[in-house]
Amino acid sequence: MFCIWIVYAAPQDKTILYDALEKLKKEMGDETMRKKSNNIIHILMGDFNLISNGQIDRNPPQHISKPKFFNDLEVLGLIDSYRKLNKEVLGNTYHKKGVSTRIDQIWVSETHNKVLVDEEPGVSTKRLATNPGEVMKAVDNDFMNMFRKRNTQLNASTPFWQHIYEPTEKFKEVMEVTTKNIILEEWNNTVKELNKKSAAGLSGINYKIIQQLPEELVLLLIKFGNLTIQTGLVPMAWKTSVILPIPKPTNFEYNIWNT
């Protein structure tokens, strides 16, 4: 379970970091929450407006080698994840030149941020993974295991839960339309309404290109689409997306209208 704290510390607000720290201490020290889950991951992120190496933030202008707030986070058991993985790099977790609004800090619970991998293949001894590629691979494996297909046996459930999971038949007629074969007229009408300015996916083929495809290729794509409907098999590439953070066009400047 993730507990995400997002903080923006405006320069004129002298108490928000202290208040956030106190609430974080209280939450992480809550015995009831600990008993409920041993896997609560606390993530603290935001723009703290604190300088730690002369590169991080804008305010205050004076240089501070290491703010006390960072020491307090470390005592609490959090780790500056970006600088843990990029020890030699000065800069921010996220920053775009010319845009002052950014995420400068991402701190993660120390007790839960350690990614352990096998010391050697076939050996049960574990070691801490510090290589970014190794960490990404380990995280991918964890998520695959976490969201794996479950062997759910509804027949073994209680009558109460069997009733909960019974098909309602409420949307049967509506859903039946979605399983019918695609026809050329339907394709053309749908493609005509697509936004030409939309960004392309992983394939690099945008809607503008799709709208210009010759009919022979369109018929081939329709045939392929109908095959996925009939078999229920969807290519893995169709399930993969690219997420890009897009900064606001104007700086925040402490003006709510700029959000």
Considering the domain boundaries, does residue 207 fall inside one? yes
CA distance 59 to 250: 19
Q: What is the mean pLDDT of residues 214-225?
A: 94
Please indicate, yes or no, whether residues 94 and 183 belong to a single structural domain of this protein. no
The per-residue pLDDT for range 177-214, each reduced to its tens digit, is 888 899 999 999 999 999 988 888 888 899 999 999 99
Query: By residue range, what is the domain housing residue 19?
Result: 2-113
Domain count, the chain: 2
Considering the domain boundaries, does residue 179 fall inside one? yes
Considering the domain boundaries, does residue 162 fall inside one? yes
pTM (whole model) above 0.75: no
CA distance 11 to 50: 9
Considering the domain boundaries, does residue 134 fall inside one? no
The per-residue pLDDT for range 25-64, each reduced to its tens digit, is 888 776 666 555 556 778 888 877 775 555 544 444 444 5
Please indicate, yes or no, whether residues 15 and 107 belong to a single structural domain of this protein. yes
Considering the domain boundaries, does residue 220 fall inside one? yes
Please indicate, yes or no, whether residues 82 and 160 belong to a single structural domain of this protein. no
Task: State the pLDDT confidence band at 79, using cuts at 50, 70 and 90.
Answer: confident
pLDDT higher for 123 or 217? 217
Q: Which residues partner with 8 through β-bridges? A: 47
**End-of-domain residue from the set 61, 92, 113:** 113
* pLDDT at site 81: 79
CB of 107 closer than 8 Å to CB of 73: yes
* pLDDT at site 144: 84
Residues near 210 by beta carbon (within 8 Å), at least 6 away in sequence: 191, 194
CA distance 124 to 120: 8
Considering the domain boundaries, does residue 63 fall inside one? yes
Considering the domain boundaries, does residue 191 fall inside one? yes
**End-of-domain residue from the set 98, 113, 128:** 113
CA distance 5 to 1: 13
The per-residue pLDDT for range 87-112, each reduced to its tens digit, is 666 555 555 555 555 567 778 886 54
